[in-house]
A = this chain, B = another copy of it.
Amino acid sequence: MSQEQGLTPRAQDFSAWYNEAVMRAELADYSPVRGCMVIRPNGYAIWELMQGALDGMFKETGHRNAYFPLFIPQSFLAKEAEHVAGFAPEVAVVTRAGGKELEEPLVVRPTSETIIYASFAKWIQSYRDLPLLLNQWCNIVRWEMRTRLFLRTTEFLWQEGHTAHADEADAMRETRQMLGVYRRFAEEWMAMPVLTGVKTDTEKFAGAVRTYAVEALMQDNKSIQAGTSHHLGQNFSKAFGVQFQTAAGGLDYVWNTSWGVSTRMVGGLVMTHGDDVGIVCPPKLAPTQVVVVPIYRSDEERAAVGQVAERAVRTLKAEGLRVELDAREGMKPGAKYYEWEGRGVPLRLEVGPKDVAKGQVFAARRTGGKAPIALDGLVPGVRAMLEDIQAGLFRAALQRREANSRRNVTKDELIAMMDGPGGFAYGGFCGALECEEGIKDATKATIRVLPDEEFRSPSPPAQCVWCGAPSVSEAVWAKAY
């Protein structure tokens, strides 16, 4: 791909399109370190907006940020049996430091349950110390074999919430609450519709009692797990001795939850909204929401439109909008449009001599459509368009998902669907591991979630799509990232 050529069309090769779209927008770059990426300023700015929105929601729900060590003694990981089995194969290990071999190797955190609950054991004595509601923003390392920018990298950035509760009900309430926060973030900020539900045991977090997830369907009809919220029961508190004096005077182990979303979300944003020109940022997460481009042919025209363009930028910035003026000389407007479109800027305001004469700017939406906005109504006009773009992106993504979801599929339909267009396939599930694995072997599709009530079919299937035995739960299958 050169800057002059278009991107590979999505319909031709979605995976190539994705990489090109990310590179063209300068969101990220490959690094000299195997499987690691560089998050470039354009990509990091999206992540910062995501962080800001999520951090606000975490604090509103009573959580505080903290920071725990990057390194975890190998013996800690081993204290919870399922946990170590799940993570040991993919950890990076420090064996040498300060010029010496370490007595006990240190694992670079693949997740922080163990190191955090070791501290919880020191801090929690009584029911009065509960609930303890913490969150951590940090980097994570998991040695992945096949990596993709943002979607799967050896190192990634994320947040991990870790909480301790006096009883199971409170821990469950927290687990569901944070799933709701992720759903709200996905829908309201990313304009990305999600299914919520519980994972099967095969797909749950290593060490959790239950894992809940938000799942979104990408434009290639594969699903992305965009966030998870785990009910950990007393698995870790027993492994790390996190005990507390109950209100009744007894001694009990705390109930833990953990929940996280990562820079993978940036990949989800790209694959939800991008088009063949490049990425499309939902206005609420767009580092630049509006770009103003003056258009002129003479110095005289330049002076006139320049003044109006600058004033428009000042006015919009004063209202807290994220605006750039592109007054670069020696570059044609079309080339500028192309660049800003590739970066996904949702709204472009063109200011030409005719616009100045009419007291207006001409607004072009990244998602299509052009209309003038009167200068004396610039702020409300721009705000309305941005809100409309945000809402339109969500609507389009929801429509696409529903158009690519099929309910009550038969075995043959499930196979045909996963062999062909993909999408979300709803069907009955008997709960047996054999059926889950049989389907995976035959179709590469996995159960993304056993959907929450809201997402279940009006008349849920009575039989397992695979074996015909009575269904214990409706399930949603898809191929996944």
Interface residues of A (CB under 8 A from B): 29, 31-33, 36-41, 44-45, 47-48, 64-73, 76, 89-99, 105-106, 108, 115, 118-119, 122-123, 134, 138-139, 141, 143, 145, 155, 157
Residues in B neighbouring A37, C-beta threshold 8 A:
69
Residues in B neighbouring A29, C-beta threshold 8 A:
119, 122-123
| CB-CB nearest 7 A-B residue pairs | A98-B143, A41-B64, A36-B69, A92-B97, A39-B67, A93-B96, A97-B143
> Given that A38-B68, A71-B155 are known contacts, is A31 also in contact with B94, CB under 8 Å in the complex?
no
Are B97 and A36 touching (Cβ within 8 A)?
no
Are B95 and A38 touching (Cβ within 8 A)?
no
Instruction: Please report the C-alpha to C-alpha distance between residue A32 and residue B106 in the assembled complex, in whole angstroms.
Output: 11
Instruction: Please report the C-alpha to C-alpha distance between residue A249 and residue B475 in the assembled complex, in whole angstroms.
Output: 64
Q: Which of B38, B71, B90, B97 touches A119 (beta carbons < 8 Å)?
A: B38
> Given that A115-B32, A138-B139 are known contacts, is A44 also in contact with B70, CB under 8 Å in the complex?
no
Q: Which of B33, B93, B141 touches A115 (beta carbons < 8 Å)?
A: B33
17 A–B contacts, CB within 8 A, in A order: A31-B69, A32-B76, A32-B118, A33-B69, A36-B69, A37-B69, A45-B64, A45-B65, A67-B157, A70-B155, A89-B98, A90-B98, A91-B98, A92-B106, A95-B95, A98-B143, A108-B108
Instruction: Please report the C-alpha to C-alpha distance between residue A45 and residue B38 in the assembled complex, in whole angstroms.
Output: 28
Task: Please give the distance in Å from A87's CB to the nearest CB on chain B.
Answer: 11
Residues in B neighbouring A123, C-beta threshold 8 A:
29
Instruction: Please report the C-alpha to C-alpha distance between residue A119 and residue B29 in the assembled complex, in whole angstroms.
Output: 9
Q: Which of B32, B65, B71, B91 touches A33 (beta carbons < 8 Å)?
A: B71
Are A64 and B44 touching (Cβ within 8 A)?
yes
Q: How many copies does the complex hold?
A: 2
Residues in B neighbouring A96, C-beta threshold 8 A:
92-93, 95, 105
Q: Which of A36, A72, A157 has the most CB of B within 10 A?
A: A36
Nearest opposing residue in chain B for A63, CB measure: B41
Residues in B neighbouring A38, C-beta threshold 8 A:
66-69, 119
Residues in B neighbouring A41, C-beta threshold 8 A:
64-66, 134
Are A97 and B91 touching (Cβ within 8 A)?
yes
Are A92 and B89 touching (Cβ within 8 A)?
no
Task: Please give the distance in Å from A101's CB to the nearest CB on chain B.
Answer: 10
Residues in B neighbouring A134, C-beta threshold 8 A:
41
Instruction: Please report the C-alpha to C-alpha distance between residue A475 and residue B157 in the assembled complex, in whole angstroms.
Output: 43
Are B143 and A106 touching (Cβ within 8 A)?
no
Residues in B neighbouring A138, C-beta threshold 8 A:
139
Apart from A36-B70, A36-B71, 15 more pairs, CB < 8 Å? A32-B76, A32-B115, A33-B72, A39-B66, A70-B139, A71-B141, A90-B98, A91-B97, A92-B94, A92-B97, A93-B94, A94-B95, A95-B96, A97-B143, A98-B145
Instruction: Please report the C-alpha to C-alpha distance between residue A471 and residue B71 in the assembled complex, in whole angstroms.
Output: 48
Q: Which of A66, A95, A115 has the most CB of B within 10 A?
A: A66
> Given that A98-B89, A98-B90, A108-B94 are known contacts, is A119 also in contact with B69, CB under 8 Å in the complex?
no
Are B106 and A97 touching (Cβ within 8 A)?
no
Instruction: Please report the C-alpha to C-alpha distance between residue A48 and residue B137 in the assembled complex, in whole angstroms.
Output: 11
Instruction: Please report the C-alpha to C-alpha distance between residue A118 and residue B33 in the assembled complex, in whole angstroms.
Output: 11
Are A99 and B92 touching (Cβ within 8 A)?
no
Task: Please give the distance in Å from A7's CB to the nearest CB on chain B.
Answer: 20
Residues in B neighbouring A155, C-beta threshold 8 A:
69-71
Instruction: Please report the C-alpha to C-alpha distance between residue A48 and residue B31 in the assembled complex, in whole angstroms.
Output: 29
Residues in B neighbouring A143, C-beta threshold 8 A:
97-99
Residues in B neighbouring A93, C-beta threshold 8 A:
94-97
Instruction: Please report the C-alpha to C-alpha distance between residue A94 and residue B38 in the assembled complex, in whole angstroms.
Output: 19
> Given that A93-B96, A97-B91 are known contacts, is A44 also in contact with B65, CB under 8 Å in the complex?
yes
Residues in B neighbouring A118, C-beta threshold 8 A:
31-32
Q: Which of A37, A40, A68, A98 has the most CB of B within 10 A?
A: A98
Are A115 and B39 touching (Cβ within 8 A)?
no
Q: Which of B32, B40, B44, B119 touches A31 (beta carbons < 8 Å)?
A: B119
Residues in B neighbouring A47, C-beta threshold 8 A:
67
Task: Please give the distance in Å from A107's CB to the nearest CB on chain B.
Answer: 10
Instruction: Please report the C-alpha to C-alpha distance between residue A33 and residue B105 in the assembled complex, in whole angstroms.
Output: 11
Instruction: Please report the C-alpha to C-alpha distance between residue A99 and residue B92 in the assembled complex, in whole angstroms.
Output: 8
